[in-house]
Amino acid sequence: MEILAIANQKGGVGKTTTAVNLAACLAAKRKRVLLIDLDPQGNATTGTGLEKNALAYTMADILLDDVALKEAIVRSPAGFDVIGANRELAGMDITLMGQVNSHELLKTAIAAGDTLETYHYVIIDCAPSLNLLTVNAMVATDGVIIPMQCEYYALEGLADLSQTIDRLKELNERLHIRGVVRTLFDSRNTLANDVSNELDAHFGAIMYKTVIPRNVRLAEAPAHGMTILDYEKSSKGAQAYQRLANEVIAQTRQLASTANKP
Ligand code: ATP
Ligand code: MG
């Protein structure tokens, strides 16, 4: 079982689109997947076809009311398991202010049972800020996948983000950047190409080879409560997320083989 958080403090960079469609593509490759929505916007929840305000339990019940993880797991219309979120998760920072262990509530919930051991991948969709929810994800996760748009401030943003992640290693020694995935990429845009090349030059070791193109089908799918595989499997967007899933699976194999070496 591997936990991967999809995070970037910047809004609208394709975190949720990546979380939902990576989860779908991993599930399509016969991996057992759990998607955890850790954003009060609940976009990952609705993106898998669930009605975010009709769930018996959500992440808010787990983090604020000690409901067990397994009580909140539902099978989504997308065909994999989800723990949903909605507005009830907002204001958690204020509710938990001053509570000593507020940054490790998710980690504690995961450790409280062996519920997650049945999954190959647990994917966490984070909110666009470094709030208490995102810190909880960073403390509980194995690695972080960073979706990134190739625009002027991308390099600076990535340098900042990797510094932040380094600092959070104090709370979680396993924490590392699993990979950076270029999203919303427009190959006709000269600046985007330049920035993409710069990212390869400076951060080559952590850049995924797969680049997710700007593809209108990816933007349309959530409006129908569908992943890209169910909405339009032949689209460029679906093909790209399938390649990304292959890269993630290959990384897992690589990590397992190095861990097993004496
Ligand atoms: P937030 O920070 O608000 O959580 P986010 O980082 O999760 O945003 P998304 O919600 O995934 O970003 O994407 C932002 C918008 O861009 C959405 O409308 C989404 O449908 C669209 N979008 C994401 N990726 C693509 C893509 N590759 N091609 C076209 N549209 C995309
Ligand atoms: Mg999002």
Q: What is the mean pLDDT of the chain?
A: 96
Task: Give the Å distance between the CA of 260 and the centre of ligand 2.
Answer: 35
Domain spans in the chain, listed from the N-terminal domain onward: 2-260
**CB 160, CB 21: distance < 8 Å:** no
Q: Average pLDDT in the 62-81 region?
A: 96
Q: Which ligand is nearest to the CA of 14?
A: 1
> What is the predicted pLDDT for the residue at 80?
98
- pTM exceeding 0.95: yes
CB of 17 closer than 6 A to ligand 1?
yes
Task: Give the Å distance between the CA of 123 and the centre of ligand 1.
Answer: 17
pLDDT digits (tens, 9 = 90+) for 196-227: 999 999 999 999 999 999 999 999 999 999 99
Ligand 1 atom 25: residue of nearest CA? 184
CB of 215 closer than 6 A to ligand 1?
yes
Whether 69 shows a pLDDT value over 90: the answer reads: yes
Whether 66 shows a pLDDT value over 80: the answer reads: yes
> What is the predicted pLDDT for the residue at 243?
98
CB of 76 closer than 6 A to ligand 1?
no
- What residues have CB less than 8 Å from 9, skipping those under 6 apart? 128, 129, 130, 134, 161, 164
Residues in a beta bridge with 179: 145
CB of 235 closer than 6 A to ligand 1?
no
Task: Give the Å distance between the CA of 9 and the centre of ligand 2.
Answer: 10
Task: Give the Å distance between the CA of 214 and the centre of ligand 1.
Answer: 10
**CB 20, CB 236: distance < 8 Å:** no
Handedness of CA 149, 183, 179, 127 (dihedral sign): positive
Task: Give the Å distance between the CA of 129 and the centre of ligand 2.
Answer: 10
Ligand 1 atom 14: residue of nearest CA? 12
Q: Give the CATH superfamily of 2-260.
A: P-loop containing nucleotide triphosphate hydrolases (3.40.50.300)
pLDDT digits (tens, 9 = 90+) for 105-164: 999 999 998 889 999 999 999 999 999 999 999 999 999 999 999 998 999 999 999 999
Residue 66 region, left (φ>0) first, then alpha (ψ -120 to 50), else beta?
left
